[in-house]
Amino acid sequence: MLVLGIESSCDDTAAAVWEDGTVRANVVSSQADLHEEYGGVVPELASRNHQRLIVPVVQRALTKAEVDVEGLDAVAVTYGPGLPGSLLVGLSFAKAFARGLDVPLIGVNHLEGHVCSVDLEGPRPGRPFLCLVVSGGHTELVRVDENAQHEVLGRTRDDAAGEAFDKVAQLFGLGYPGGPDIDRHAETGDPAFHDFPRSRLDGFDFSFSGLKTSVLYYLRDRSAAERKRLLADHLDDLCAAVQAAVVDVLVDAMRRAVEETGGEHVAVVGGVAANSSLRRRMGALGREAGVDVSVPALTYCMDNAAMIAQAGARRLAAGHTSPAALDVHPNLQL
């Protein structure tokens, strides 16, 4: 089965060609540079860029995969969650493209796509598995069973983990997205430099807004000159301390979930799964707790369309297709 995947939920325009479990082409055109100067995604700019990129990105994926459009069996596309204008470009294009080729359209939940990203490469995690979905827009802990049904154990009550990195990076005067910059600086920093709060809620819910506020207070209680000196002398230490606070909370939740559910397989997916400290610490948790840990290759942690095609193919195999009236669902949940 040959599936074209399309993803445009935030600031990356992506298309992929997937054939029976193999990714034949995976094209992502990132707009991060464009949004960096504004400290985050500007929705209207993102939508306009998707419009500019959608056809070239799809064409590049088809060319790279050496596939003729007539050979496609289905079109899978993200219909939520995400920015409404961004989602609309990908979904409207995909609906028309699928109808024009007279092949099934499969609407895919972006978060389900991330969950499926662990199946794209390498050994597929055993079922059931505990999956932490962490990105700029989401932080969810779910249990995924043999039939790919998701049970949400917990999710963030305020900011996502990646959003916390973005906002703290903005306070530190770093770029957007914040995660990669913080990760890079943290490598040579001392995580014990300052003890930022780790909020632990009942159950498996998360909260990161307190961390952001705490960093804000830590900095604004100083004069501008003092703040400047502190950031110049200890940026690496501060990044390490913030990163430790975020990673501790995520690893702790996963550890408790393993203990409580007796799970044997765990996975971490989404943009924040690219964080080197989180990958290391999850690996260590796996060794301590005796569980398998799956983390996708960096390419598949970021938003991509291969995971959308993968999730779509599974849905199609289970007999699901979407109607031509499918609309975007900006606040879709798992």
Partner 1 sequence: MTLLALETATATCGVAVLNDDAVVAEAHLHRPRVHAERLTPLIEDVLGHADVSTEALNAVAVSMGPGSYTGLRIGTSTAKGWALSADAAFVGVPTLEAYAARVGPMAAPEDVVCALLDARRDEVYAGALRRTTEGLAEHAPTTALPVETLPDWLGTVDGQLWLVGDGAPKSRDALADDAFSCVTLPADAVSPSAGWVARRGRQRLEAHGPDDAATAEPLYVKDVHATPAPSPFD
Partner 2 sequence: MPETTRSTIQDLLPQTTDSVKATMALGARIVNILAPGAVLALYGDLGSGKTHFAKGVARGLGLRPAEVRSPTFTILSVHEEGKHPLYHFDAYRVQTPDEFVELGFETYVHGEGITCIEWAGRVSPLLPPDTVHLQFHHVAPSRRRVTLGAPDASDDETSQA
The residues binding partner 1 (CB under 8 A) are: 37-40, 42, 44-45, 47-48, 51-52, 54-56, 58-59, 69, 84-85, 88-102, 170-171, 216, 219-220, 224, 323-328
101: partner contacted, choices partner 1, partner 2, none (Cβ within 5-8 A by kind): partner 1
Among 39-47, 115-123, 174-182, 290-298, the segment contacting partner 2 (CB under 8 A): 39-47
Binding status of residue 42 toward partner 2 by CB under 8 A = yes
For the chain, how big is the Rg over CA atoms in Å?
20
List beta partners, residue 15: 6, 27
Q: Name the residue nearer to partner 2 (CB basis): 112 or 119.
A: 112
Least distance (Å) between residue 92 CB and partner 1:
4
Question: Cα–Cα distances in Å, from 303 out to 16, 168, 226, 306, 319?
Answer: 12, 22, 38, 9, 25
Rounded to the nearest 10 degrees, the angle between the axes of helix 178-186 and helix 224-261 is 90
In the list 19, 48, 84, 148, the residue contacting partner 2 (rule: CB under 8 A) is: 84
Distance CA 136, CA 161 (A): 7
Chosen residue from 150, 167, 281, 314 binding partner 2 by CB under 8 A:
167
How many CA atoms, within 13 angstroms, populate the side-chain half-sphere of residue 304? 27
Residue 235 Cα distances to 135, 188, 209, angstroms: 23, 10, 21
Q: Is 175 in the site for partner 2 (CB under 8 A)?
A: no
What Å distances lie between residue 69 and 77, 98, 102, 265, CA to CA?
16, 10, 11, 38
Q: Which stretch binds partner 2 (CB under 8 A): 70-78, 113-121, 154-162, 301-309?
A: 154-162
Instruction: Kindly state the smallest distance separating residue 317's Cβ from partner 1, in Å.
Output: 23
Task: Name the residue among 159, 158, 76 with its Cα closest to residue 112.
Answer: 76
Q: How far apart are CA 19 and CA 274, in angstroms?
A: 25
Q: Which is nearer to partner 1, 99 or 157 (CB)?
A: 99
Query: Does the footprint of partner 2 cover residue 120 (CB under 8 A)?
Result: no
Q: Which chain residues interact with partner 2 by CB under 8 A?
A: 10, 40-45, 81-85, 136-137, 156-159, 163, 167, 205, 209, 212-214, 216-217, 330-331
